[in-house]
A = this chain, B = another copy of it.
């Protein structure tokens, strides 16, 4: 299979975007990515869209055809595919797009992730988020996604001594990073004290531990790596991908505070990229909650199990730390538009690897890794990127 590169990246602001519809968000991100790549829409061979639940959020399915149409691609009858894996929809769409280019099926492929969450009530948006957990065995008895993450966190506290102060440090760090990201949903800095005293959501989490309900979209343009320099001065190679699933219900897991799907996916990613964890310069991970960042950087094998909480408190995951995590602000501060997350993480990594993440640049970043999960870890998608110059 061929090597694949990212030659264009774009995103919208994340937030409560009352003035923008689903299709407008998708088109805005797509055009930004095409402009970045210097590619016209008539050069596109295929479109892949990641979205979690536009059916309930905006009563629209057939999202590939919809966005292809409004991007002007229908005149050439360009094929479009929508991919869904709950909150991991964006990265999974990217992986399918990667496969389409790597296989030789298509040359220039656009992948977009988009979600418009604020056209429904907050209560309905939360119900939609819960469609990523097992409705029949978890949702119907009253569990929410955050409540299940809270169970995981409590077990992690018991098994590894992880503390609330360590979790709060994640929120403080991600807001500090997000304050430097003009596209972030929340750009305010916060204190550990504020996190610890915030309104409770599900023990041990307060509201400042939890990622928000956001609108937003992001897009990437892919092409074969050997053609990338024709389009971009600073292309980024997709050097490794890994995709794995686990039981959708948390109660069926071997261990509720280790995401086995993440471990499996990242091992595939490292193997394909022919690197080890110590080669990673910057990470974007899926911080549904502050705890989720701690848990996932362990399961990505960046530190030993149980050691990530201390790292957060020590500043090792800050932009100038040993392993910078979520320089974009992460889901907590940048925002959490479900189907857009996985694509947006890679947009941030492309900026970092190009040295263009102004105000939040990780020094000398050459290799980046993104983790996008669905539900409580039923799906894990790892993407590893390397600067090509």
Chain A residues in the interface with B (C-beta under 8 A) = 1, 21, 23, 52-53, 55-56, 58-66, 68-69, 73-74, 77-86, 92, 96, 99-100, 102-105, 127-128, 131-136, 139, 243-249, 252, 260-261, 264-265, 374-375, 378-379
Known contacts A82-B84, A84-B63; A378/B69 CB under 8 A? yes
Apart from A65-B248, A83-B84, A102-B105: 15 A-B pairs, beta carbons within 8 A: A1-B104, A23-B136, A53-B61, A58-B135, A61-B86, A61-B131, A62-B85, A62-B374, A63-B84, A69-B246, A69-B247, A69-B378, A74-B248, A74-B252, A79-B243
How distant is A263 from chain B, measured CB to nearest CB, in Å?
9
Q: List 8 A-B contacts (CB under 8 A).
A: A59-B135, A60-B136, A62-B85, A62-B374, A69-B249, A74-B248, A79-B243, A103-B103
Check B132–A79 contact: CB distance below 8 A: no
User: A82 — which chain B residues lie within 8 A by C-beta?
Assistant: 83-85
How distant is A88 from chain B, measured CB to nearest CB, in Å?
8
Q: Report the copy number of this chain in the oligomer.
A: 2
Known contacts A77-B264, A264-B77; A68/B103 CB under 8 A? no
Nearest residue in B to A131 (C-beta to C-beta)? B61
A contact face: mostly helix, strand, loop, or mixed: mixed
Check A81–B73 contact: CB distance below 8 A: no
Check B61–A247 contact: CB distance below 8 A: no
User: A21 — which chain B residues lie within 8 A by C-beta?
Assistant: 136
How distant is A236 from chain B, measured CB to nearest CB, in Å?
21
Complex CA distance for A65 and B243, rounded to whole angstroms: 11
Known contacts A82-B85, A85-B82, A131-B60; A65/B245 CB under 8 A? yes
Partner of A96, one of B60, B81, B85, B134: B81
Partner of A261, one of B77, B99, B100, B103: B77
How distant is A224 from chain B, measured CB to nearest CB, in Å?
13
How distant is A268 from chain B, measured CB to nearest CB, in Å?
9
Nearest residue in B to A338 (C-beta to C-beta)? B61
Check A62–B81 contact: CB distance below 8 A: no
How distant is A232 from chain B, measured CB to nearest CB, in Å?
24
Complex CA distance for A204 and B247, rounded to whole angstroms: 48
Complex CA distance for A60 and B306, rounded to whole angstroms: 32
A62, A127, A247, most chain B CB atoms within 10 A? A62
How distant is A115 from chain B, measured CB to nearest CB, in Å?
12
User: A78 — which chain B residues lie within 8 A by C-beta?
Assistant: 244-245
Complex CA distance for A211 and B177, rounded to whole angstroms: 54
User: A128 — which chain B residues lie within 8 A by C-beta?
Assistant: 55, 61
| Closest 9 pairs between A and B when the two form their complex, measured CB to CB | A103-B103, A65-B378, A62-B86, A61-B131, A77-B244, A79-B243, A55-B55, A77-B264, A82-B84
User: A53 — which chain B residues lie within 8 A by C-beta?
Assistant: 55, 61
User: A131 — which chain B residues lie within 8 A by C-beta?
Assistant: 55, 59-62
User: A264 — which chain B residues lie within 8 A by C-beta?
Assistant: 77
Known contacts A61-B53, A65-B248, A245-B65; A85/B77 CB under 8 A? no
How distant is A168 from chain B, measured CB to nearest CB, in Å?
29
Complex CA distance for A351 and B56, rounded to whole angstroms: 37
Check A77–B245 contact: CB distance below 8 A: yes
Check B246–A65 contact: CB distance below 8 A: yes
User: A134 — which chain B residues lie within 8 A by C-beta?
Assistant: 66, 69
Nearest residue in B to A46 (C-beta to C-beta)? B243
How distant is A384 from chain B, measured CB to nearest CB, in Å?
16
